[in-house]
Amino acid sequence: MTFTALRGAGLALLLATAAQAEDPVEAYRVFVADHAEPKVTAFDLNAPGTRWEFEIAGQAKLIPVADGAVIAAVQSDADQVRFIASGVTLEDHGDHADIAISDPAAIGAPLTGARPFHVVDHGGETVIHFDRGGRADLLSNAALKDGRIEIAQFPQARAHHGFAAPFGGVILSTVASDAPVEGDAAPVRLGLRAFDRSGSPVGDLAPCGGIHGEAFSGAYLAAGCAEGVLTATPGPNGAIAYRMLPYPADFPAATTGTLLGAKAMQIFLGNHGPDGLVVVDPAGEPAMTRVALPFRRVDFALDPADPAMAYVLTEDGRLHRVDLLAAKITASAPVTGTYSMDGHWNDPRPRLAVADGIIAMSDPRAGLARLISTETLKETGRIEIGGQPYDIAIVGGAGATH
Ligand code: ZN
Ligand code: ZN
């Protein structure tokens, strides 16, 4: 390197440092889990050439928790959960946020237990439900942000595929039937009930057949049932007010099993059967509006920057923008090849994660993460990952670094 080049580089560094001290810094970090290999790859959107890799024990679902400070890598078939500090943290300072950026790093030892599955992040705690362990582990988000794992165990009467959530001073937990089952069959899920933290019931069962797919928005928890969508909200005298929103009579025969809850407004988006979505307004009228999809859904995600918008990928390889307030598809564009929903639910298919203006979509067949503009639905970049990129998560934002 010549003297001039060195001097130039030094000057550029100096300018960058000066700019960083004054201008807000924007950083988005993407985490991708492979379908076949037990590993997680991380990279920054603005410098995707630098990679971090984490060896884990099995295929993982990646769930950002503790305000994006931590990624929970839930390995259901390997009976463990790995917590990875995302390295991008935003701290609220009232009129602005501070951003701190460091390398991502695994936290402590993996959490172990029989078939961890659903994860709830609510009320300052992250809850891992162990479907065959008959328990849920409640982890303090404050400790997680500090790089520590602090656990309180919540016992359940019968192990089942469900969830538990801290909610207005109680734990709301799914409840399974105590009727005997054949062999390895999972017990039938009956509904939702409030418990104290030691696992003793403090309320009556709210019936919700086959309850599945919890989400939070505003003052509400919502979950799908055979008969409709059940909502729960804090009621008078510490009680929980439940309400069953039945599927409207003009809906085709189908149910909701997955829900997403918006953060910045009180609204949910769920599936309704394999080729429909349902917008749920828990306190409004109509409570449920259906959006028909042209093909079966592969994955869907809400837009954290624009809570009235969601994106859904259908098996024909097209991405659609859904306006939740209008309950309509407002734009569609091809983004990949076809990914048929015939076959196993866990076959390698794309997954979506959305940040400010960007949809990050894994494309397992192409070995890529595709970056797609939320505005135009056009691809703006592709990042070679190799293998079969599967579950994907994105954390970050903009903040001051003073
Ligand atoms: Zn500050
Ligand atoms: Zn489930």
Q: pLDDT for 288-315, tens place per residue?
A: 999 999 999 999 999 999 999 999 999 9
Residue 262 Cα to ligand 1 midpoint, Å, equals 26
Q: What was the pLDDT predicted at 22?
A: 58
Quick check: 20 pLDDT over 70? no
First to last CA, the chain: 33
Angstrom distance (rounded) from CA 378 to CA 305: 18
Q: How far is the CA of 396 from the centre of ligand 2 (A)?
A: 27
CB 134 within 8 A of CB 156: yes
Name the β-bridge partners of 101: 88
**Nearest ligand atom owner, CA of 259:** 2
Q: Is the pLDDT of residue 7 over 90?
A: no
| Nearest ligand, CA 93 | 1
Which two three-digit tokens encode residue 257? Answer: 């099993």
Residue 86 Cα to ligand 1 middle (Å): 20
Q: Which bound ligand lies closest to the C-alpha atom of 98?
A: 1
Whether 179 has a pLDDT exceeding 50, the answer reads yes
Tokens of 342: 């015939």
Whether 11 shows a pLDDT value over 70: the answer reads no
How many angstroms separate the alpha carbon of residue 398 from the centre of ligand 1?
A: 12
d(CA 89, ligand 1 centre) in Å: 12
Lowest-pLDDT choice from 7-11, 99-103, 205-209: 7-11
Q: Which amino acid is at 90?
A: L
Nearest alpha carbon to residue 111 among 173, 35, 57, 166: 57
pLDDT of residue 356: 86
Question: What does the pLDDT look like over 66-108, one tens digit per residue?
Answer: 999 999 999 999 999 999 999 999 988 999 999 999 999 999 9
119 Cα: distance to centroid of ligand 2 (angstroms): 10
Ligand nearest to the CA of 94: 1
* pLDDT-derived band at 2, boundaries 50, 70, 90: very low
What is the percentage of the chain residues whose pLDDT exceeds 70? 95
pLDDT tier at 184 (50, 70, 90 boundaries)? confident
Alpha carbon of 117 to ligand 2 centroid (Å): 7
Query: 364-400: per-residue pLDDT in tens?
Result: 999 999 999 999 999 999 999 999 999 999 999 999 9
What is the C-alpha separation between 154 and 196, in angstroms, rounded? Answer: 9
Query: What's the pLDDT score for residue 18?
Result: 44
Report the pLDDT value the prediction gives residue 24, as an integer from 0 to 100.
Answer: 84
- In three state form, how does the secondary structure of the chain look? CCHHHHHHHHHHHHHHHHHHHHCCEEEEEEEEEECCCCEEEEEECCEEEEEEEEECCCCCEEEEEHHHCEEEEEEHHHCEEEEEECCEEEEECCCCEEEEECCCEEEEEEEECCCEEEEEEECCEEEEEECCCCEEEEEEHHHHHCCCCCEEEEECCCCCCCCEEEECCEEEEEEECCCCCCCCCCCCEEEEEEECCCCCECCCCEECCCCEEEEEECCEEEEECCCEEEEEEECHHHCEEEEEEECCCCCCCCCCCCEEECCCCCCEEEECCCCEEEEECCCCCCCEEEEECCCCEEEEEECCCCCCEEEEEECCCEEEEEECCCCEEEEEEECCCCCCCCCCCCCCCCCEEEECCEEEEEECCCCEEEEEECCCCCEEEEEECCCCEEEEEEEEEEEECC
Ligand 1 center to residue 400 CA distance, Å? 6
> What ligand has the least distance to the C-alpha of 25?
1
| Residues 353/392, Cβ–Cβ less than 8 Å | yes
Cα 131 versus chain centre, distance: 18
Q: How many CB atoms lie within 10 A of CB 135?
A: 18
pLDDT in tens, 325-334: 999 999 999 9
Quote the pLDDT of residue 162.
98
For 102, list phi and psi in degrees, rounded to 5: -145, 175
Cα separation, 322 vs 267, whole angstroms:
13
Cα separations (Å) of 394 from 2, 38, 340, 369? 40, 19, 25, 12
Joined tokens for residue 356: 């400010």
Quote the mean pLDDT of the chain: 93
CA atoms within 13 A on the CB side of 197: 12
Does the pLDDT of residue 231 top 90, yes or no?
A: yes
Tell me, in angstroms, the distance from the centre of ligand 2 to residue 146's CA.
29
Q: For residue 344, report the distance from its CA to the centre of ligand 2, in Å.
A: 15
Ligand 2 centroid to Cα of residue 163, in Å, is 9
Q: What value does the mean pLDDT take over residues 115-144?
A: 98
At 395, give phi and psi (nearest 5°). -130, 160
Q: What's the pLDDT at 347?
A: 96
Ligand 2 centre distance from Cα of residue 262 (Å): 19
Distance 131 CA to ligand 2 centre (A): 9
Angle at the Cα of 78 (from 76 to 83), degrees rounded to 5? Answer: 75
Contact 106, 42 (CB under 8 A): no
The per-residue pLDDT for range 30-54, each reduced to its tens digit, is 999 999 999 999 999 999 999 999 9
Lowest mean pLDDT across 10-24, 59-73, 159-173, 253-267: 10-24
Write out the two tokens for 264: 């910045």
The residues with which 51 forms a beta bridge, in sequence order, are: 43
**Which distant-in-sequence residues (6+ apart) come within 8 Å of 5 by Cβ?**
none
* Ligand 1 center to 358 CA (angstroms): 26
